[in-house]
Chain A
């Protein structure tokens, strides 16, 4: 049993009581709502004639179905189903006094991009959302959990979820990242080491020098993919990087109140002598960029390695999964992923749709052109990210290179809008899941990688080592973790 960790402290602060079924009733301090998983929950509430218990702790935006082409955002949306979902969200939020960031607000975007940049996500909170990537918010030192629709109903009606406390695994990520290697590579490395179900029953506490060196946007990318490693939540203890990022943001208190809040944030950090259920070390020193070769995020290699033989895997089921992956991806064991043909380049998502991600990709694209055979989409994670990128002139870099510069949304990560793969297209993607069918075509093929690698793949028309494009970079940008974007 863990003791004295941030997870223990935040859990205890939010524990209301133990329920008769043995679970804990946990108060949720920040509830994020989007259009896809919430309408049924609001419906259940109406059936029971219940009201939203904590509307001031609840914030909504639209992301999954949001069209990313400017002209397609006019209302009513051309897609009747999308329009119905969006209208339902508008009605449900306005009827219940919930703040909604719509297209016109300038703050619309992916929940997990919007809440951090507005300062809604803070250390020591419990955060829930009907989306598995809610772990993202753990980057601030909070407990963020993805929940199903019935649990959304619970949070709307009671402000709480019924939850089992998990074990805590401390993951020390040691070493220093080289140039052109990013937070995305760290989390892919962790999943490579621990597996896609390694985190089941655990929350991950990420620490160590490689994590501490990351800026907030890098930390968000790491925590975001906790769920791909099977961990429902992942977090990083707050520090000065966290506080610097938060100060001055819209929903963060100012002056004395900020200092008071900071005392709370400091108080929930894991103790020096905290006890963990498990401690593992991941060596990230000098790792190469990672890319997936298969159909789950654990089927991943460093760019310098080759696609493994199914027989390399000990477990029969892993061998079968590898066979299936080789067949779907149409690749051979022993092959390098370098040179794997790419049809689509997709940059964005709650993993890598922040300003520093576009900045890193732009470094590659500056003065280069997207290959004629490649359809390239740059989709900012939020309208604020878009505005900030445009203020820095990054949109010009993307457009000049041949990328489509889009409006904010989840887009081709899961293709619930018009942005989808066709047939067996291969997508170099900065997203988080390479599951079969994920990007909208059952034969589509996804190769997960960092934003810089996506940009390089777009230019070459095939998977390539983005570091080849960074050789001429001036000194000083070699930290490998994008400059702070705030």
Chain B
């Protein structure tokens, strides 16, 4: 992964994933986490929800909107476990950005780590966008991270983005390892004041 990218704008066709409290066990069932890399995770995205009892693909949006880049979700998306496998699977499936009502915190943090803008707006606006995608499966949706706007068709809406996420993406500093690694001496002085950490 090349973490030095500035991510100011992402776009493409959309996929609505309706429902509140969609948990990480639905997004990426635990039995598919038994791999030591994230390479195959796209194959397991919403694995059970996308299939009928006989194992055939059903009419789940991910089956109907293949090739989409922008997922549109409702509230508390990604609740449950901390598994980065969930946003990794979405990213590897093709999702470059997410518009929704709200996210579970660890999920949103994981999106930030991966450079996936996850923006928010109100319920009505999200539902309108989801309906628009159903009517316009080939329509382009653009997330302008810098200006906090989402444009689709003739419509432009204001959206919110977590401040740290925006800074990270726009400034291209979402690789927190390098960022924090450069503060080594400051870490050492913090540690020196903690009574429970023995100096190595």
Q: Which residues of B contact A53 (CB under 8 A)?
A: 187
Check B80–A150 contact: CB distance below 8 A.
no
Q: Is B35 an interface residue (CB 8 A)?
A: yes
A284 to B137, CA, bound (A): 50
Bits for B179-200, please: 1 = Cβ < 8 Å to A, else 0. 1110110110011011111101
Check B177–A154 contact: CB distance below 8 A.
yes
Closest to A257 in B: B195
A88 to B184, CA, bound (A): 28
Given A124-B196, A150-B114, A414-B30, A131 and B48 contact (CB-CB distance below 8 Å): no
Bits for B76-92, please: 1 = Cβ < 8 Å to A, else 0. 10011111110110000
B-side interface size class: 35 or more
Check A158–B79 contact: CB distance below 8 A.
no
Check B176–A437 contact: CB distance below 8 A.
no
Q: Is B29 an interface residue (CB 8 A)?
A: yes
Q: Is B104 an interface residue (CB 8 A)?
A: yes
Query: What distance in Å separates the Cβ of B129 from its nearest Cβ neighbour in chain A?
Result: 16
Q: Which residues of B contact A37 (CB under 8 A)?
A: 33, 82-84
Q: Is B13 an interface residue (CB 8 A)?
A: no
Q: Which residues of A contact B88 (CB under 8 A)?
A: 149
Q: Which residues of B contact A40 (CB under 8 A)?
A: 36-38, 84
Check B81–A131 contact: CB distance below 8 A.
yes
Bits for A1-42, please: 1 = Cβ < 8 Å to B, else 0. 000000000000111110111110101010000001101100
Q: Which residues of B contact A321 (CB under 8 A)?
A: 19-21
Q: Which residues of B contact A39 (CB under 8 A)?
A: 36-37
Check B80–A433 contact: CB distance below 8 A.
yes
Check A132–B82 contact: CB distance below 8 A.
yes
Q: Is A241 an interface residue (CB 8 A)?
A: no
Q: Is A106 an interface residue (CB 8 A)?
A: no
A227 to B186, CA, bound (A): 31
Check A14–B194 contact: CB distance below 8 A.
yes
* Complex interface residues of chain B between 144 and 167 (CB less than 8 A to chain A): 162-165, 167
Query: What distance in Å separates the Cβ of A11 from its nearest Cβ neighbour in chain B?
Result: 12
Q: Is B106 an interface residue (CB 8 A)?
A: yes
Q: Which residues of A contact B176 (CB under 8 A)?
A: 19, 150-151, 154, 161-162
Check A13–B104 contact: CB distance below 8 A.
no
Given A16-B187, A157-B181, A27 and B194 contact (CB-CB distance below 8 Å): yes
Query: What distance in Å separates the Cβ of A445 from its nearest Cβ neighbour in chain B?
Result: 14
Q: Is B75 an interface residue (CB 8 A)?
A: yes
A437 to B180, CA, bound (A): 38
A37 to B35, CA, bound (A): 10
Bits for A435-466, please: 1 = Cβ < 8 Å to B, else 0. 11110101000000000000000000000000
Q: Which residues of A contact B35 (CB under 8 A)?
A: 81
Check B190–A162 contact: CB distance below 8 A.
no
Q: Is A260 an interface residue (CB 8 A)?
A: yes
Check A437–B79 contact: CB distance below 8 A.
no
Q: Which residues of A contact B167 (CB under 8 A)?
A: 20-22
Q: Which residues of A contact B26 (CB under 8 A)?
A: 435-437
Bits for A174-203, please: 1 = Cβ < 8 Å to B, else 0. 000000000000000000000011001100
Q: Is A82 an interface residue (CB 8 A)?
A: yes
A29 to B187, CA, bound (A): 11
Check B193–A437 contact: CB distance below 8 A.
no
Q: Which residues of B contact A150 (CB under 8 A)?
A: 84, 110, 113-114, 176
A55 to B33, CA, bound (A): 25
Check B110–A65 contact: CB distance below 8 A.
no
Q: Which residues of B contact A433 (CB under 8 A)?
A: 23, 25, 80
Bits for A71-100, please: 1 = Cβ < 8 Å to B, else 0. 000000001011011001000000000000
Closest to A82 in B: B34
A164 to B165, CA, bound (A): 10
Check B36–A162 contact: CB distance below 8 A.
no
A33 to B11, CA, bound (A): 36
| Residue from B31, B163, B184 in contact with A440 in the complex, judged by beta carbons closer than 8 Å | B31
| Residue from B25, B87, B110, B190 in contact with A436 in the complex, judged by beta carbons closer than 8 Å | B25
A79 to B31, CA, bound (A): 12
Bits for A44-57, please: 1 = Cβ < 8 Å to B, else 0. 10001010011111
Bits for B30-63, please: 1 = Cβ < 8 Å to A, else 0. 1101111110000000001000000000000000
Bits for A137-171, please: 1 = Cβ < 8 Å to B, else 0. 00000000011111101100111111010000000
Q: Which residues of A contact B171 (CB under 8 A)?
A: 20-21
A230 to B167, CA, bound (A): 25
| Residue from B20, B23, B179, B193 in contact with A162 in the complex, judged by beta carbons closer than 8 Å | B179
A147 to B162, CA, bound (A): 18
Q: Is B173 an interface residue (CB 8 A)?
A: yes
Q: Which residues of B contact A301 (CB under 8 A)?
A: none
Q: Is B105 an interface residue (CB 8 A)?
A: yes
Q: Which residues of B contact A261 (CB under 8 A)?
A: 195-196
Check A158–B181 contact: CB distance below 8 A.
yes
Closest to B29 in A: A437
Q: Is B69 an interface residue (CB 8 A)?
A: no
A147 to B109, CA, bound (A): 8
Q: Which residues of B contact A122 (CB under 8 A)?
A: 196
Check B80–A230 contact: CB distance below 8 A.
no
Check A25–B21 contact: CB distance below 8 A.
no
Given A13-B194, A56-B198, A65 and B109 contact (CB-CB distance below 8 Å): no
Closest to A443 in B: B53
**Contacts A/B (CB < 8 Å), 19 sampled:** A16-B183, A16-B190, A21-B163, A21-B167, A27-B190, A29-B197, A37-B83, A84-B36, A85-B36, A149-B38, A150-B176, A151-B113, A158-B177, A197-B21, A197-B76, A230-B105, A232-B105, A321-B20, A433-B25
Q: Which 10 A-B pairs have the closest CB atoms?
A: A150-B113, A148-B84, A21-B167, A146-B82, A148-B110, A81-B34, A39-B36, A442-B48, A149-B84, A197-B76
